[in-house]
Amino acid sequence: MTSDHARIAIAGDHHGVRLIDRIVEMLTARGHEVSDLAPRGATTVDYPPLCAAVGRMVALGEADLGIIVGGSGQGEVIACNKVRGVRAGLAYSEFSVDISRGNNNANVMVIGTKVIDDETALALLDRWFATPFKGGIHAERIAQIQRIELAYDEG
């Protein structure tokens, strides 16, 4: 993981609390500023409002990056990507991380605890932080995505 200081917002549902605690500890130990929005103690938690909260922090510049931890991660990545300016990627393999960060400049990483184990998730998190955005044609495609967002805002 990069040694650069980053402001990171993190949240997740009831499936993610155990892993979130580990991630927060790891990121804090590495000098990152972490805003932990994950609820504790509830038997079940709805993920859409948590995804929106993390997404808003990233979109408004209150956090540099976001992390969401859920069960499959599928619903979470959909919810995150409803926030204009968020590019959330589901991290389930090295390939998915390389594409989401390198090609899509993802600013939110989504982890599914029912899909990968904790050690794999932590290794993928390291890879996500270490993967630079390639720019070039990929920057042009992100600009196209931003134009789609703006077109729907205009109605």
**Domain extent listing, the chain:** 7-154
Closest CA relative to residue 109, chosen from 131, 133, 128: 128
pLDDT at 3: 46
Q: How far apart are CA 24 and CA 75, in angstroms?
A: 22
Q: Which CATH superfamily is domain 7-154 in?
A: Sugar-phosphate isomerase, RpiB/LacA/LacB (3.40.1400.10)
pLDDT at 40: 85
pLDDT at 43: 82
To 5 degrees, how large is the angle CA 81–CA 102–CA 79? 10
Mind listing the pLDDT tens digit of every residue in the chain (155 residues)? 444 799 999 999 988 888 999 999 999 999 999 999 998 887 889 999 999 999 999 999 999 999 999 999 999 999 999 999 999 999 999 999 999 999 999 999 999 999 999 999 999 999 999 999 999 999 999 999 999 988 887 66
At 111, give phi and psi (nearest 5°). Answer: -120, 135
Residues pairing with 10 in the sheet: 36, 67
